[in-house]
Amino acid sequence: MRLWGIGRPPSVVINLWCRVRIVIADRTALVCHELGGPGLPDLGAVDDIARLALLAGRLGGRIILSDVSPAMRSLLELAGLGVEVEREAEGGEEPLGVEEGQEELHPGDLAS
């Protein structure tokens, strides 16, 4: 996983790709993590999110992404990773909650 500030020279600019929260059923956040790095996100970042989603599921929760960069959003869509993305508030409004996302697809779910 990419962690902020560890082993990074001071001249390297870190870009925020997204914020990840692991939440349980009542939306209590267990973990909050900022995912970012130099430059644009890659499939390694998508792998990090997939691993966090698996961990959240094992804990009986799920992940919610916020502040998702356009490049990260495109990679998530390309990979078909069904994660929840918190809607961004418009004009000073409070976030309304989770609206976007896709249901996970498992091999047994495919129609013949």
Q: Looking at this protein, which amino acid is placed at residue 23?
A: V
What phi and psi values does residue 41 have, to the nearest 5 degrees? -70, 160
Confidence of residue 28 (pLDDT cuts 50, 70, 90): confident
List pLDDT tens digits, range 35-91.
999 899 999 999 999 999 998 999 889 999 999 999 999 999 988 877 778 776 544
List the domain range (segments joined by +) for residue 66: 15-109
74 in a domain, yes or no?
yes
Q: How many domains does the chain have?
A: 1
1 in a domain, yes or no?
no
The Cα angle at residue 5 between residues 56 and 65, in degrees rounded to 5: 30
5 in a domain, yes or no?
no
Q: Looking at this protein, which amino acid is placed at residue 4?
A: W
4 in a domain, yes or no?
no
SS3 of residue 86 by DSSP: strand
The structure's pTM equals 0.65
7 in a domain, yes or no?
no
51 in a domain, yes or no?
yes
Indicate whether 105 pLDDT > 90. no
Please give the structure tokens belonging to residue 39.
């430059």
